[in-house]
Chain A
Amino acid sequence: MKDFGYTVIKQRTIDYDQFDGRLLNEVLQMEPSFKVCLSCGGCTATCSANDLVSFNVRRMNLLLRRGETVELESEIKKCMLCGKCMLVCPRGINIRNVIMLIKKSILKYNPVKS
């Protein structure tokens, strides 16, 4: 195939005007404690899944808040739900419920199915 010199790259700027907040709002409504994340990374540091595969729990919050649903869907599946992160979280976020809610709701909002 002829290369025209264009490649599809991920948009570099977060275009917040294009942001679809439905998934985020649904998760926050069902689990309000998720609002108070201060991105300390304690969850990622202690994560059992993270020992075996590259998986950053803390980033789930950012992916959700920036509308990166495709990546979120593939990442969220890595969680083993062991609950260690909840024993570490300085804000007492109910992280396991957040994971379960995203896993469930993303089926509704993510049009991309592998």
Chain B
Amino acid sequence: MKHIVIIGGGIAGIETASALTDAGHWVTLIEKDAQIGGKLNNWSNLFPNFTPVEKITDELKEKCRRKDFSILTNTEVNSVLRNKDKFSINTSDNQQLEADAIVVATGYELFDARRKEEYGYKIYDHVITSADLEQLFKSGEKLTVAAGKIPKRIAFVHCVGSRDEKSGNHYCSKVCCITGVKQAIELKKHLPDAEIFCFYMDLRMYGKHFEELYREAQEKYDIQFIRGRLSEASEKIDKSLLIKAEDTLSGRPLKMNVDLLVLLIGMEAGKGTAAAATSCSIGCEESGFLQTADSFLQSNISMQDGIFLAGSCTAPMTVNDTVLHARSAAQEVNNYLQKTR
């Protein structure tokens, strides 16, 4: 029986593990956190149809329970050594694992919004990120701002930490546009009297049902879309925020007072993926995401034989795409193990 070690217990890791177990292999999943599920655990509902996250995570966890693969939580990979077709993996709790193949599924990290100081995250009280907002939704608490006031006007900022030379991230994070639309609608459902604005550079509604949701946001929820990038925010005495942008379509600068500012933060390869790139000696692209052998037919193949890639460690991805990418990774591992038999 062949042994496969999967690094990262998010959606990609679990899905790959499950598929490889089904194919009759022995699989060990290594997760640095106490529980599996990755970033999805912190999210409330998914675009484009508001599916509760639990529906996905429960099913993934059920798979883990049902299927016979071992999970090492609170564990990180220290080093990976190759010996011909075998790998020996040393973990942070000093276990030695022997593997025939490795799948890197280390995922992404959310952009630290403090790096866009001009937006005032963690400086002003009422600037939050899309991730903070999901936590708020999840907690079910009533959303209030200063002195228990219900926000009247809310602005979303697109492309925070993506498509931005200043953040060092030139790429598009793919998920934030639609996340913004989804969250705007959810907020409007919570606060029917609030005015909600989305400040965007381009709206990229490329996925199934994305464009429809955008239309719905305009049609049913009166979400207003302003084409212009926010340059900065400043805080007033009442803790409301004065934001500055250019309304590029009318060609005039625009100022607006809002009670809450939501930053749609992008995805970065993050420390976990960087560490995997080093320990497995596989290359990173300029963006920090892992390099694939080619982007069409070999998007799961790393620059090292026997090491495979799954999910958003290779590029920003939606939940959908991650699941598909994970399954194709399992297929690639299977093919490889058949050949080396």
Residues of B within 8 A of A88 (CB): 118, 166, 229, 231-232
A56 touches B246 (CB 8 A): yes
B155 to chain A, nearest CB (A): 13
B166 touches A90 (CB 8 A): yes
Residues of A within 8 A of B230 (CB): 42, 45
A40 touches B165 (CB 8 A): no
A3-42: which have CB < 8 Å to B? 38-42
B244 near A: Cβ within 8 Å?
A: yes
Size class of the contact patch on chain A? 20 to 34
B159 touches A41 (CB 8 A): no
Residues of A within 8 A of B248 (CB): 39-41, 44, 58
A41 touches B166 (CB 8 A): no
Given A40-B229, A50-B253, A90-B229, residue A45 in contact with residue B166 (CB < 8 A): no
B153 near A: Cβ within 8 Å?
A: no
A97 near B: Cβ within 8 Å?
A: no
Given A42-B231, A46-B231, residue A89 in contact with residue B253 (CB < 8 A): no
B12 to chain A, nearest CB (A): 29
B201 touches A44 (CB 8 A): no
A44 touches B165 (CB 8 A): no
Other-chain contact of B245, A41, A56, A91 (Cβ < 8 Å): A41
What's the Cα separation between A60 and B244 when bound, in Å? 20
B166 touches A44 (CB 8 A): no
What's the Cα separation between A44 and B231 when bound, in Å? 9
B199 to chain A, nearest CB (A): 10
Residues of A within 8 A of B232 (CB): 45-46, 88
B148 near A: Cβ within 8 Å?
A: no
Residues of A within 8 A of B227 (CB): 41
B97 near A: Cβ within 8 Å?
A: no
What's the Cα separation between A88 and B227 when bound, in Å? 16
A2 to chain B, nearest CB (A): 37
A40 touches B228 (CB 8 A): yes
What's the Cα separation between A51 and B231 when bound, in Å? 14
Other-chain contact of A56, B118, B163, B164, B251 (Cβ < 8 Å): B251
A59 near B: Cβ within 8 Å?
A: yes
Residues of B within 8 A of A45 (CB): 228-232, 244-246, 253-254
B223-273: which have CB < 8 Å to A? 227-232, 244-248, 251-254
A58 touches B229 (CB 8 A): no
What's the Cα separation between A39 and B251 when bound, in Å? 10
17 A-B pairs in the complex with CB atoms less than 8 angstroms apart: A38-B163, A40-B201, A40-B228, A40-B229, A41-B228, A41-B229, A42-B228, A42-B229, A42-B246, A45-B231, A45-B244, A45-B245, A46-B232, A58-B248, A88-B166, A90-B165, A92-B166
3 closest residue pairs by CB, A with B: A41-B246, A46-B231, A40-B229
Chain A residues packing against B (C-beta within 8 Å): 38-47, 50, 56, 58-59, 87-92
Given contacts A56-B252, A88-B229, A90-B164, 8 further A-B pairs with CB under 8 A are A39-B248, A41-B228, A41-B246, A42-B229, A56-B246, A59-B251, A88-B166, A88-B231
